Structure 1
């Protein structure tokens, strides 16, 4: 028995050593220093500024059990709509967004950016696709909503069949000086949205209650001091954890109740990273809550712009580990660098933005 215990202890030591070597190799492969302790990343102090604009979140019920309205509210000005719904019935359906103008004058709705993913069964892929399209899209569209009439925010959804268990995820930025009622609903395939909405019932929320209207659709984050790779080593900025970075609160316009946007879905983060001159550094995205699939828009020196998949080499990462990182590039210190990020649909939060010395 004692001999077996000694052998078992030795096996444990070997297992731990192999695990540590594997972790060091993984970090070295990522470009991070091999001795990086991913469980104790120094947090970089930042200043957070919320920018104006309304965020409409429609993600509850996420699994839509019947025809009806998932969310609606009347808004004007700068608006972002994030909707994320699965047809949880046993029949084909449509999921549409109807814009209703209840005034006596026609309304012009300008769509500045948008991304649509699905319908489909691979929820992570759909969330990533919607976000990548949103970050890359630059074409402005005009939707004319007649007086006392309606129009579809995304006309293609009128003819798109959503099969059972399929997800549709959309992110739309639009502007209207005229108050517009935004209605997200699921309806029969052969139903006409403008007719269906007149008799549609508001569906009850699910236990997550991820729906509502929120102020501050954008969040600007700037570190309190310039990052110096040689002096500070690996540091991080935590996003969407509700501790260092709080979730936005709002009102569910369907019943007037208070609501919290768990995960800050639909919030657009704009990070400016001031850095010391003559110090090259690397930037990474590190998922901390589980499986993650999204995108990142990079604006370097005010002229080099690109959209990166996070991760870029596969659909998702972060499964049962906090050590996965997606390399967002190596940069020269002292140059302007902006990152635009938003929590993608179907992915887990929080995440960290890591700054590190470049690999030797």
Structure 2
């Protein structure tokens, strides 16, 4: 695994708190489904009392010829013994076969330490830059009432696994509908067949997210930035400044395709967050502006795509930290700035996008 994307430098700045602006409107993209498996994050005798368990699942029924999927997962082994962790697809249909194609993934299995956020950065940089590794699934198809194994890994005690999978599930050309279940599963038995784990998900512990949604990309439109002013746009917020639900709060229990057992995904883990900021220059001259990332609530790390180039967002511990993501010249009239984000880790959102002339 080679990660060629550099990290942005972190600087210090007193970002004004009087120029906040909320997201104006959002749209979700339904091109790829998202399954987030981050709960229970810590696997131990309490969260995994039996031999096997389903960490999370997505029960699908579709009349499309194919369905695109993304899985974001993060689990820690504190059971005192090795675990087997895997991704499976159970074909529930009694009349049609399904195939698993175009599998790519990034997975990191490392000792539990205070540098785990770096692993999350590597995952989202690879996903956002479309440089994840191609993977040949263990089973390329699942016949009627059979289960396919995409991949399994050994997770030692004291280690964590962070992973992103993307793949396509395709139905027989003669079939009318696909019915299948995507699962992240675990077993204490290293010789167990993970294809046989069809149980309901383990109970959730704490606030780490899990759920499944029919979309995995957010397109957020911001109010216009006026050249000569300062603005801080609040993205991935839980609420607007007036206390109402944030416009970009899309990955919640209430919006999850399976709500029972789901946990709100406030950090939008596994999702690609697209930002569009209109730039209004009411003068007759070009104007230089600088655009920064600034965590407003607490620590943040991730990756950003600007002008076709992906850069890592290193850990920024608090709201005095900034990363310069663009220094641009704005022509007279109306133009715009766009970028895409993925979250690797956060302690308290929102994230600020700070524009200053």
Interval of TM-score (by shorter of Structure 1 and Structure 2): 0.7 to 0.9
Contact 1:219 1:268 in 2 (8 A): yes
SS in 2 for 1:261: coil
RMSD over aligned Cα atoms: 3.1
Q: 2:77 aligns with which of 83, 87, 100?
A: 87
Matches within 5 A, 1:292-311: 292-298=300-306, 300=307, 305-311=308-314
Structure with higher strand content: 2
- Tell me which residue corresponds to 2:210: 211
Contact 1:93–1:163 at 8 Å: present in 2 too? yes
* Closer/same/farther in 2, CA of residues 338 and 189 from structure 1, 3 Å limit: farther
TM-score (normalizing by structure 2): 0.74
User: Deviation at 1:258?
Assistant: 6.5
The structure with higher relative contact order (CA 8 Å, sep 6+) is 2
1:115 aligns to 2:106 (yes or no): yes
Q: Secondary structure at the match of 1:224?
A: coil
- C-alpha deviation, 1:247, in angstroms: 5.0
1:328 aligns with 2:325: yes
Counterpart of 1:176 in structure 2 is 169
**Equivalent residue in structure 1 for 2:92, among 102, 115, 126:** 102
SS of structure 2 residue aligned to 1:260: coil
Supply the distance in 2 between the matched residues of 1:142 and 1:333 (Cα, whole angstroms). 46
Q: What is aligned with 1:275?
A: 279
Segments of 5+ residues of structure 2 without an aligned counterpart are 1-9, 171-177, 241-245
Closer/same/farther in 2, CA of residues 346 and 272 from structure 1, 3 Å limit: closer
Query: Structure 1 pair 61/191, CA: closer, same or farther in 2 (3 Å)?
Result: same
Are the counterparts in 1 of residues 187 and 194 from structure 2 also a CA contact under 8 Å?
no
Residues 164 and 309 (structure 1), Cα distance of their counterparts in 2 relative to 1, 3 Å cut: same
More helix by share: 1
Structure of higher CA gyration radius: 1
Secondary structure in structure 2 of the residue aligned to 1:133: helix
Equivalent-residue separation in structure 2 for 1:141 and 1:163 (angstroms): 22
Aligned equivalent of 1:51: 29
Per-residue CA deviations over 1:169-188 (Å, capped at 9, x if unaligned) read 22334333433311111223
Which stretch of structure 1 is more off in the superposition, 253-262 or 242-251?
253-262
Shift of 1:45: 5.3
For residues 29-48 of structure 1, the C-alpha deviation after alignment (integer angstroms, 9 at most, x for no partner) is 9496xxx5443333265222
1:68 counterpart residue number: 53
Asked if the contact 1:116/1:129 (under 8 Å) is kept, the reply is: no
Distance 1:276 1:116, change over 3 A: farther
- The normalised TM-score by structure 1 is 0.74
3-state SS of paired residue (1:131): helix
